[in-house]
Every structure is written in structure tokens, then in C-alpha cells.
Amino acid sequence: MPQQLPKPHSKLVRALFFWTGITATFSYRVIIILTNYPAIWLKLAWYVGTVGFVVYFIHRYQISERRAKLIHDHQLNSKVVAMPNLNEADRAAMEYLFQTLESSKEKWNYIFIFVMSGLALVWGVVTDIAAWLK
């Protein structure tokens, strides 16, 4: 039985992840402006940005893993060489794309950002609750 290939997310889901990343980035950038306003606004921007980055980078990690797995499972890297209708430049371009997608360190970047954001989020919640309970 042929292996089931992953399906792309719907346009709506892709848009939600895109806007989550944009919102998180904006929220972090606006923090410098919010330092001149009540602390609640700064904390709100920080929490929105941090949660947004957790969600966004989990998604990016999953996409990166899916691409690398497809390339590996279907041996696409080696199949490019045998494609007769590709000229040398096209073949080299495709080999480059497959090799870099399969071996990219971007997933480690995503993992690092996710873990650090998660730790910061836990720290922020704990310290905010502790301050509130005083």
C-alpha cells in the first residue's frame, strides 16, 4: 500500500499561523514603546508575543520535520540526478534545495526558540502570580 503523503494545511490554518507570527513579532517590538505606559500593557504585549512565538515555532518545526521526512522517505535527493528533462543548472538547484531542506539546522532554531519561550512563559506566570499573592 502506498505511503500516505501529508496534506498542506488549509488556507485558513496557514493564515492563522502567519498572523500568529506577525502578532507575536509586533507584540515584542511594541514593548519598548509600552515601557512608558502602565505595566499591564507591557505584560499583555509580552504574554501575547511569547504565547504567539510558542505556537508559531511549534508549527514551523512540524513543517520542517515533514519536509525533511518526505525528502528522506522518497529518496528525492538521489532521484533528481535521474531526471532526464532537467538541465545541469536545474538539477544542481534541485539537489541544493533537497540537501539543504533535509539537513537544515532550522529545526534546532525552532526548538530553541520554543523551549526558551516556554521557560520564559512559565517564569512570567509564576512571578506574576507570586507578585499578585503578596
| 132 assigned to some structural domain | no
Read off the pLDDT of each residue in 1-21 and give the average, rounded to a whole number: 87
Read off the pLDDT of each residue in 36-51 and give the average, rounded to a whole number: 95
| 1 assigned to some structural domain | no
| 133 assigned to some structural domain | no
The HSE-up count of residue 72 (CA atoms within 13 Å, CB side) is: 11
Query: Of 14-28, 54-68, 93-107, which gets the smallest average pLDDT?
Result: 93-107
From residue 38, alpha-carbon distances to 13, 33, 44, 45, 60 in Å are 34, 11, 11, 12, 34
101-133 per-position pLDDT tens digit: 776 788 888 889 989 999 999 999 999 999 999
The domain in which residue 103 lies consists of: 11-127
The count of structural domains within the chain is: 1
Other CB atoms within a 10 A radius of the CB of residue 76 amount to 16
Decide: residue 41, CB within 10 A, 0-12 exposed, 13-18 middle, 19+ buried: middle
